[in-house]
Amino acid sequence: MIRLDYEIIADIIEPGAKVLDLGCGDGELLSLLKMKKNCRATGIEIAAEQIFKCIERGVSVAQGNIDSDLDVYEDKRFDYVILNESLQQVVNIEKVLNAALRVGKKVVVGIPNFCHFRARLQIFFLGKVPVTKSLPYKWYNTPNLRFLSLDDFREFCSEKNISIEKACYLAAGKKVSVLPDLFADSGLFVLHHA
Amino acid sequence: MIYVTPQQITFTDQLLLKSGAALSPVTVVYETYGKLNADKSNAILILHAFTGDAHAAFYHEGASKPGWWDDMIGPGKAFDTDKYFMICSNVLGSCKGTTGPSSIDLKTQKPFALHFPLITIQDMVALQKKLIDHLGIRKLLSVAGGSMGGMQAITWAVMYPDMVHSSIVIAACHGHTAQQIAFHEVGRQAVMADPDWQGGDYFGKALPGRGLAVARMIGHITYMSWISMEQKFGRKLQDKEKLGYDFSKDFEVESYLQYRGQSFVERFDANSYIYLTKAMDYFDLSEGKKLSEVFKGVTADLLVISFTSDWLYPSSQSQAMVRALKANDVDVSYLEIKTDYGHDAFLVEFDDQTRMISNYLTKVVRERVSRI
């Protein structure tokens, strides 16, 4: 079973595109893009264990930091830069996103929705920082540095003059079309500089 | 136990060196492991480090120890000899069979010593290319090596892009830094300060063993890490219950270094020591240009590996190579392996290297060879 977000990203990206995945994890998405879409795909990942897995899958990956490693690339070197479930772990969001928009013609961003209705209910009724299936961490062990809602992200893009070409909202392996800000676990956005 | 017999070939045409000098004839000693396939597409050249030799794997007849990278090369290992045809040759300038300063100069019928021309990493690679041509191999599946071997591996990708599908560069650099040159210079000065050095012309006489041993001791310190030395020796005493308050050996680390220095004298030639260290010191792929310019012609797929505790060839140097390769759209993978073993890790950390290299080679075969 392919993860729905991977499937949607693979559908968005044109065959043969040049793709850079920032925070590519175990390389599953890159491998899918290589096999299904014949993409020239490469990744940056910080965790050594994930690098081994990428190489096992036959994906090129360089250990590095997405905060600082994009400087080497020329403008618009990639057709797509992917930041799927990695942006919320970045210190300097604006710098990374700008760098991604510089080296990529388009940027695909996937973010978790911290303001899912279950999270809202937990805050309101339990008075606790929410722990949900898609956000399973406690406040003291979360790898996430940024806590944002889908609306926060759209607002950020509009303030920073970043065009959202396409948006897609997901929950429990399905697309969400009704009130995504409440019911979606995550959102996928295709961006480019306005 | 699998046995291997060294082979050799002598090239009588001139080998033009980077310095402008020329050398002929040149003999190369090499070993092979595994079988070359019908279309000669499964050959991998292993490049040894500074004091290594062509005996990378398997056993010589009657020997109790296998080759220096036997944990990495063999059936089912990282460099799987059931799949790949492995070649390892001794480098130009060494004293392990390939022509070097201790070889006989045909003009004088005496060892070259300091009459041997200065050589470079590029010259070593140029000679290896002659060997690969001689074996009838058009394009190597991979070239791979650690330390000085890694310098050769990256140089192969730059000098002969049409001859390598991939290059595995381990614990290496694209050029020697002041600190790296400095350690080598101390080693050379130790060798040349030995009264038995005699301008390099010690053949048939007493060897400059004390100087060479000191040089090797310094080298050994740079190959280990602070933590590996602490773990291995700490302040443990050697054959003593308490401090001696004299200058005999007190500490285990002193004894170890002296032992390693002494045993090195028995297996390595002092002239080769100074020639090979100089070759590494001359190594600088960028030569004043931007590294990304130098890598413009690279078409090979690259795997770069460094080690966290390697302070002699620190990860920052590998990362600089990776960045410059990326700037040229080269397919490059990079991993910094976590280890306490320092620079020596490429001869010790087999599990992580095996996991990376065996899978990486599978990827290279799938992407580069099956398409041809």
Does the B180-279 domain belong in CATH 1.10.1740.110? yes
Nearest to A63 among B301, B335, B352 (CB): B335
Mean pLDDT score, A20-49: 96
User: DSSP for B192-215?
Assistant: HHSTT-GGG--TTS---HHHHHHH
**Is the distance from CB of B165 to CB of B139 less than 8 angstroms?**
yes
Contact yes or no for B335 and A52 at CB 8 A = yes
Average pLDDT for chain A: 94
- Cβ contacts below 8 Å, chain A against chain B, sum to 55
Q: B284: which strand partners?
A: B175
* Token pair recorded at residue A111: 């973010």
Predicted confidence (pLDDT) at residue B371 exceeds the cutoff of 70: no
Residue A118 lies in a domain: no
CATH for A83:
3.40.50.150
Helix (H) or strand (E) holding A75: none
Predicted confidence (pLDDT) at residue B60 exceeds the cutoff of 60: yes
CA distance B329 to A24: 18
Residue A148 lies in a domain: yes
Can you tell me which residue has the tokens 């140097």?
B317
Distant-in-sequence, close-in-space partners of B104: CB < 8 Å, separation ≥ 6: B110, B111, B112
ipTM of the complex: 0.92
Average pLDDT for chain B: 97
Choose the catalytic residue: B53, B71, B194, B310: B310
Contact yes or no for A73 and B327 at CB 8 A = yes
Which residues of A are less than 8 Å from B324 in CB distance?
A: 72
Which residues of B are less than 8 Å from A58 in CB distance?
A: 359, 362-363, 366-367
Predicted confidence (pLDDT) at residue B220 exceeds the cutoff of 50: yes
Contact yes or no for A73 and B367 at CB 8 A = no
Predicted confidence (pLDDT) at residue B370 exceeds the cutoff of 80: no
Which residues of B are less than 8 Å from A68 in CB distance?
A: none
CA distance A186 to A167: 11
Helix (H) or strand (E) holding B169: strand B166-170
pLDDT recorded at residue A69:
85
> pLDDT per residue over B326-366, tens digit each?
999 999 999 999 999 999 999 999 999 999 999 999 999 99
Full residue range of the structural domain in which residue A60 is found: 4-113+144-193
Predicted confidence (pLDDT) at residue A81 exceeds the cutoff of 60: yes
Q: How confident is the model at residue B319 (pLDDT cuts 50, 70, 90)?
A: very high
Contact yes or no for B332 and A52 at CB 8 A = no
Residue A46 lies in a domain: yes
Closest CA to B272 of B151, B177, B148, B171: B148
**Is the distance from CB of A49 to CB of A26 less than 8 angstroms?**
no
Fold of B7-175+286-369: Rossmann fold (3.40.50)
Domain count of chain A?
A: 1
CA distance A38 to A139: 40
Q: Tell me, what DSSP letter sits at residue B173? A: -
Predicted confidence (pLDDT) at residue B131 exceeds the cutoff of 90: yes
Predicted confidence (pLDDT) at residue B113 exceeds the cutoff of 50: yes
CB of A64 within 8 Å of a chain B CB? The answer is yes
CA distance A166 to A192: 10
Mean pLDDT score, A78-106: 94
Q: Domain residue spans in chain B?
A: 7-175+286-369, 180-279
> Among residues of chain B, what percentage have pLDDT more than 70?
99
Closest CA to A9 of A99, A134, A109: A109
B-proximal residues of A, 14-53, CB under 8 Å: 42, 48, 51-52
CA distance B333 to B338: 16
Mean pLDDT score, A54-81: 94
**Is the distance from CB of A173 to CB of A193 less than 8 angstroms?**
no
**Is the distance from CB of A63 to CB of A79 less than 8 angstroms?**
no
Residue A42 lies in a domain: yes
Mean pLDDT score, A168-174: 93
DSSP-derived 3-state class of residue A101? helix
* Token pair recorded at residue B67: 């080759």
pLDDT recorded at residue B72:
98
Q: How confident is the model at residue B255 (pLDDT cuts 50, 70, 90)?
A: very high
Predicted confidence (pLDDT) at residue B372 exceeds the cutoff of 60: no
* Token pair recorded at residue B175: 């050029």
Q: How confident is the model at residue A1 (pLDDT cuts 50, 70, 90)?
A: confident
Which residues of B are less than 8 Å from A59 in CB distance?
A: 363
Q: B116: which strand partners?
A: none
Output A67 or A187, whichever has higher pLDDT: A187
User: DSSP for A20-65?
Assistant: EEET-TTSHHHHHHHHHH--EEEEEE--HHHHHHHHHTT-EEEE--
**Is B310 designated active site?**
yes
